[in-house]
Chain A
Amino acid sequence: MARGLTRGRTRLVAIVASVGLGLAAVAGCGSGGGIKDASGGSSSGKDCGDLRIAVNPWTGYVANAHVIGYLAKTKLGCNVTYPDVKEEVGWAGMASGSIDTIVENWGHPDLVKKYIDEQKSVVDAGPTGGKGIIGWYVPPWMAQKYPDITDWKNLNKYAGLFKTSESGGKGQLLDGDPSYVTNDEALVKNLKLNYKVVVGGSEAGLIQSFKSAEKNKTPLLAYFYEPQWFFSEMKLVHVNLPTYKDGCDADAAKVNCDYPPYELNKLIAKKFDDSGSPAVDLVKKFSWSNDDQNVVAKYIAADGMSPDDAAKKWVDANPDKVKAWLGS
């Protein structure tokens, strides 16, 4: 048995050694030939180096990130990487120095307070030009059949339609992409709606529910948001809650108004801001509309293009907008 063990070890050593030796020998005589080194893009004075753009898990965000990344790579010669992280982890990453920028931020007052105001490790890099809308939506067929459903005052009239096995005798309000804060339980209570909040649990759950509802003409009322690639497939209809006024959502328990409109913005790590990389300017100047984003998001989600191909297609078609960002 002892022999067996020694033999095993010898074999392992032999394998490692022979593979290692062989690779070393070959690696020495490798480079050149049919493979050319990547050129460093067009030189723009300063060296760009690494650019790490956090990628939050929704397709609109991916569109922003890859359009910026594509330009940084091809025009500025940056070595661009796209770490996949959720919002909160992305903020923490900027503070600790492993992320350079977040290119679509939805508010997050608590994180703003923690990292921008207190720790000063993150800097606001201006609006993306996109407008974020959060609210309650119904599938198109419902808005056609029941035109007055888009006013919240009529919701109780239709509560019976929305009853499901999950909602315990009341109308179902499907919530819950877990990523975002909702006031829906408080809203239902404060607006005296005969509804129960049921958590869907994921964006996939919400989108799939809308798909089934439209296809089978079943009623559905759910929390959703714009901009979102899914709108290019189905025009969901927004249900108007009492209009948002400054401060009406100050106390989470007493909220009785619609969600505030969001000015989506970009964020830059302080360290990156100070680095003098030409990509800093690009990120700061980047700005486009919801429609622009939806086009790229649709290339990715509906047409099955890779994010980089989608970005290239849009950039090639919109040279004027791109020119303004590159500042030359």
Chain B
Amino acid sequence: MAVDTATAVPPPPPARQQENKEEQPYLERGKKRHTGPLLLGILVVWLVVFALLKNHDTRALGLQDTTDFHEWLNRIRDWVQLHGPDNWFFGGVLGFIGDTFNNIFTFLQKLVSIPAFPRPVPQIGWLGVVAVFAWIAWAVAGLRSTILVVITFLLFGVFGLWQDSIDLLLVTILAVLVCFIIGLPLGIAMARRTTMSNIVTPLLDIAQTMPPFAYLAPVALGFGIGPTTAIVLTVVYALPPLVRITEHGIRSVPETTIEAARSLGLTSSQMLRRVELPMAKRTIVVGVNQSMMAALSMATIAALVNGPGLGKPVNAALQIQNIGAASVAGLLIVLMAIMLDRTTTAASERSGGVASVSGPQVLLMGVVLEKLPRWATEDAGRGVRHPRLTNAGKWTIRGLWLIPVLVAVYLSRQQLNFAQFPGRDVWGFLKPIDGKSVTKYINDFSNWFIDKVDTFTLALKNDVTKVVINPFQNLLAESPWWAMALVILAIAFVLGGWRPTVISAVCLAIIFGTGLWNDSMVTLAMTLLATLLVMVVAVILGVGMGRSRRTDTIIRPFLDAFQTIPPFVYLVPALALFGVGRFTAIMAALAYAAPIATKLVADGIRGVAPTTVEAARSTGSTTWQMITKVQLPMARESLVLATNQGLLYVLSMVVIGGLVGGGSLGYIVVSGFSQDQLFGKGLAAGIAITAMGVMLDRIARYAAARVGR
């Protein structure tokens, strides 16, 4: 690939040569690798072996069949089930953690979301909760965030999902708090000691690629059925981004700054508190942000083991195939994600030390400020006449605003309509916009739409499956296992050198050990096809977005929505459109993975130096040439990153794919969660998915490092 790109870039005009050289210093010097011909050679040998030894040694395993390894895992599980409660660790330590968090959570729930027996309503009703959260948002993040918070909270109530929404918010806040308490020190330790980093990073990889379905039941076994299990599951998934980003943030503090601080004689802990943490603060906030998004994406999964929150209505709607009801709950999850994201971002930007009273607020409060006592205001400086608030003044105003908040809380304890969000029978004006109506609108629309197009989409699924999916899958799954292993290793070597080859060998050995080789190859085939499709979509959309701001503004909200909406929401529409099958699984993966890849591609296209684009334009290249010969090749690092992320996102959808006819590993994981005697097999499938993820990620990364050079 490196060779191709080198020749593809048109010779830059002389005037710009200097600049271009700086951008791609290694382009001409790279050792010539015969990647293309070598890959072709591998393919030819592979096809010959396939033709001769098709369906030999494929290691296929029947649906209900298990291996000794699976049975061994079952026996461990049985032991924990029978003896766990009396064991010091499972019953004692985990039980204690479980009880503690359950109690904290129930206390909070009674405060704001569930009836506090014997009261028929929570201690603080919806009006009080909205007022308190609005006040907090206003105090830390400003007016805009406050409006966003109020609207979102009101929609929780209007859609009739107040309790589930607040529960999910509580789970998310508690889980992210735990992540912060564990993740911050861990990230710091990793930044300071390479050995620590080397030990923890693979664990984070596992936590992120292991499908939660595989360990759902055991976690529920250890921590009991309740909020704690939901919090633990959420923490496992939400911790890695926070740790990784914290490590990155601390590491990115410039060496010169550290040196300067050290020369002042700061101790290690002073250095951390006064230099490293403050400088890495912004990055860490990004980590917290990502952690929140990851936490929300666990909502539907945690609900399978009684995790409180909006996952419950989504799952309940799935049982009765109610697309509208699932969408309404899913939409609230999206809104909650947007609210948390924007508010924390605004809060962090504000705490950067810039004066907080600015913009429209100055205009609004100008008159008031003039009348405040001197201790509360200071000059804005530079001869501007607007006065500015001192800290004491800010707090006085905030304190004053607390009074209406407290009144709201009081009312919400006194009046039923302020305690329990009124439905349409109390507030008639809600009728056209409440949860029931919106559910009906969505159901009507989706029925109409599906009815119009389903014969076409079902036919499309059949054709694509026959022409593309079946042949490719047969090649991977019907080759002898040893031939497949050799092919993968050879490709890893050609693309990335000996390091990824060694890692791949270990991963393949693990996959072989799980006894699920054949299913793994089926999953691999679908994963690769889905990733390819993701990249096609990402490049088309990403180029459009990168080249035009307008396109970007139109498309981006959809990308955000698809990234945060729980896949369970679009399971039923996907099934209605495409029927049961592997194609549908690939479509689900596409819906989830395309947004992140598209964003990265768009980012890369936009990052191409405008001078280069100008130069190419001045040589008279057409739009098509511009895209294919200049912008895409120059953005190749982003393309590689997009492929890598797309691949990991696709892999995380393998289990969801199993629910819509993807079969293979995904289905095995789900059935392991559902059937007692398949627990071991399901866990083994989870291990196989993890191994495959790590393998593909490493091959892609090392290959990318080469392309980058």
* Cα(A66)–Cα(B351), bound, Å: 50
From 563 to 597 in chain B, residues with beta carbon under 8 angstroms from any chain A beta carbon are 571-572, 575-576, 579-583
Beta-carbon contact of A92 and B319 below 8 Å? no
Contact B416 A212 (CB under 8 A): no
Count how many chain A residues have C-beta atoms less than 8 Å from C-beta atoms of the other chain.
91
* Known contacts A33-B415, A83-B225, A83-B306; is-contact A198 B136 (Cβ 8 Å): no
Against B, the Cβ 8 Å flags (1 = close, 0 = not) of A155-189 are: 00000000011101000001110111111111000
Judge whether A34 is part of the interface by a CB distance below 8 angstroms. Answer: yes
A98 near B224 with CB under 8 A, answer yes
- Residue of chain A at shortest CB distance from B474: A168
> Chain A residues near B708 (CB, 8 Å)?
none
- Map CB proximity to B onto A93-114 as digits: 1 under 8 Å, 0 otherwise: 1011111000000001011001
CB distance from B56 to the nearest CB of A (A): 18
B462 contacts the other chain (Cβ, under 8 Å)?
yes
Pairwise interchain contact B572-A208, C-beta atoms closer than 8 A? yes
Does A317 lie at the interface of the complex (its beta carbon under 8 Å from any beta carbon of B)? no
Q: How far is the CA of A164 from the CA of B226 in the complex (A)?
A: 43
Q: Which residues of the partner chain A approach B575 to less than 8 Å between Cβ atoms? A: 204-205, 208-209
Q: Is B395 an interface residue (CB 8 A)?
A: yes
Binds A, one of B44-52, B369-377, B552-560, B654-662: B654-662
Assess the A5–B277 pair: CB atoms within 8 A.
yes
Stretch in contact with the other chain, from A15-23, A125-133, A242-250: A15-23
Q: Check B670 against A35 for contact (C-beta < 8 Å).
A: no
Q: Is the CB of A205 within 8 A of B119?
A: no
Contact A204 B659, beta carbon cutoff 8 Å: yes
What distance in Å separates the Cβ of B100 from its nearest Cβ neighbour in chain A?
A: 15
Known: A5-B278, A89-B217, A216-B455. Is A95-B85 also a contact (CB below 8 A)?
yes
Give the contacts of A40-84 with B (CB-CB under 8 A): 40, 57-59, 62, 79, 83-84
Q: Name A15's contact: one of B82, B140, B462, B663 (CB within 8 Å).
A: B140
Output the residue of B312, B321, B406, B439 with the most chain A CB within 10 A: B321
The 0/1 profile, CB within 8 Å of A marked 1, for residues 289-328 of chain B is 0000000000000011110000010011011111001000
Within 8 A of A (CB), among B263-291: 273-275, 277-279
Q: Mark B100-123, 1 if CB is under 8 A from A, else 0.
A: 000000000000000101111101
B660 smallest CB distance to A (angstroms): 6
Please choose the segment from A24-32, A143-151, A259-267, A319-327 that sits at the chain B interface, where 4 or more of its residues have CB less than 8 A away.
Answer: A24-32
Known: A178-B674, A201-B661. A114 touches B667 (CB 8 A): no
Name B410's closest neighbour in chain A (CB-CB). A26
Give the distance to chain A from B349, nearest Cβ to Cβ, in Å: 13
Question: Which of the listed residues A25, A30, A59, A197 has the most CB atoms from chain B within 10 Å of its own CB?
Answer: A30
- CB pair A208–B321 under 8 Å, yes or no, is yes
CA distance A184 to B63 in the complex (A): 9
Chain B CB within 10 Å, residue with most, of A7, A27, A186: A27
* Contact in complex: A7, B391 (CB < 8 Å): yes
Query: B541 an interface residue at 8 Å Cβ cutoff?
Result: no
Partner among B63, B224, B677 whose Cβ is within 8 Å of the Cβ of A185: B63
Assembled-state Cα–Cα distance A211/B662 (Å):
20
Find the B residue at minimum CB distance from A3.
B353
* Chain A hits for B124, CB < 8 A: 23, 27
- B198 at interface, CB cutoff 8 A: no
- Contact indicator A1/B278 (Cβ below 8 Å): yes
Minimum Cβ distance to chain B for residue A292 (Å):
18
- Determine if B320 and A300 form an interchain contact, defined as CB atoms under 8 angstroms apart: yes
A residues in contact with B120, CB < 8 Å: 35-38
Residue in A19, A34, A40, A88 whose CB lies within 8 Å of B416: A34
Task: Give the one of A168, A203, A304 with max B CB within 10 A.
Answer: A304
**When the two chains form their complex, are residues B82 and A114 in contact, meaning their CB atoms are under 8 A apart?**
yes
Q: Is B221 an interface residue (CB 8 A)?
A: yes
B619, CB-defined interface residue at 8 Å: no
* 310-362 of chain B: CB within 8 A of chain A: 312, 315-316, 318-322, 325, 351-353
Chain B residue at minimal CB-CB distance from A82: B306
Given contacts A4-B351, A33-B414, contact A14 B395 (CB under 8 A): yes
Report the minimal beta-carbon distance from A51 to chain B, rounded to whole angstroms.
13
Q: Let me know if A96 and B119 touch, CB within 8 A.
A: no
Known contacts A119-B82, A209-B579; A88 and B675 CB within 8 A of each other: yes
**Cβ-neighbour of B580 out of A15, A95, A198 (below 8 A):** A198
17 inter-chain pairs at a CB distance below 8 angstroms, sorted by A residue, are A35-B415, A59-B320, A79-B117, A88-B676, A88-B679, A114-B82, A178-B675, A180-B675, A181-B675, A198-B580, A201-B659, A201-B670, A204-B321, A205-B575, A208-B576, A209-B579, A216-B455
- The 3 A-B residue pairs with the shortest CB-CB distance, nearest first, are A30-B413, A165-B465, A178-B671
